[in-house]
């Protein structure tokens, strides 16, 4: 399995920890979107796409985000659960509110993805803020170039 393309979308704004979003293409055949580049306490890292975990309201059954105080459908007060805490801070409690949609199984795969995404992020940061495609492999560059005609339209 090879990452054949990485698209980096630099993020500007109030959230200073979120630096960029990335879209990864594997073997020119499979795409993963919403991979995040985040500035952590120990430097940049890659976070895989995730979704917020939801619990059902006991009264109406509406699915609310975990640790909501009131139901968004009927307004009923929801039972509060204690967030899990660690000595490192509230990182674990934040993680317990989200579930990965896609993630690597092995440490080698995680390291490979992180290396490719962070390389593309650094390249994009040097170039400027406009979204561009950071081509990872030479064969991906020839594949992309062959799909574009003279008018810069993609042929189907």
- pLDDT per position as a tens digit, 43-94: 999 999 988 888 888 889 898 888 888 998 899 888 876 554 444 444 444 4
Q: Which residue has the higher pLDDT, 134 or 101?
A: 101
- Looking at residue 82, its pLDDT comes to 59
- Looking at residue 93, its pLDDT comes to 45
What predicted TM-score, i.e. pTM, was given to this entire model? 0.62
Q: Is the pLDDT of residue 130 over 90?
A: no
The CATH topology of domain 1-49+101-156 is Arylsulfatase, C-terminal domain (3.30.1120)
Exposure string of 46-79, with b = 16+ CB inside 10 Å and e = fewer, is bbbbbeeeebebeeeeeebeebeeebeeeeeebe
Q: Which of 9-18, 117-126, 140-149 has the highest mean pLDDT?
A: 117-126
Domain map (residue ranges) of the chain: 1-49+101-156, 51-99
């Amino acid at each position: 399995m090879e990452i054949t393309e990485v698209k980096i979308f630099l993020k500007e704004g109030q959230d200073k920890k979120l630096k960029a979003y990335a879209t990864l293409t594997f073997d020119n055949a499979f795409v993963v979107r919403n991979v995040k580049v985040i500035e952590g306490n120990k430097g940049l890292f890659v976070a895989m796409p995730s979704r917020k975990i939801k619990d059902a309201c006991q009264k109406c059954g509406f699915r609310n985000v975990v640790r909501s105080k009131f139901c968004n459908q009927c307004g009923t007060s929801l039972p509060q659960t204690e967030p899990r805490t660690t000595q490192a801070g509230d990182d674990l409690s934040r993680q317990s509110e989200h579930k990965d949609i896609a993630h690597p199984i092995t440490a080698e795969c995680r390291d490979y993805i992180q290396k490719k995404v962070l390389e593309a992020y650094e390249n994009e940061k040097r170039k400027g803020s406009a979204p561009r495609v950071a081509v990872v492999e030479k064969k991906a560059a020839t594949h992309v170039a062959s799909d574009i005609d003279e008018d810069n339209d993609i042929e189907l």
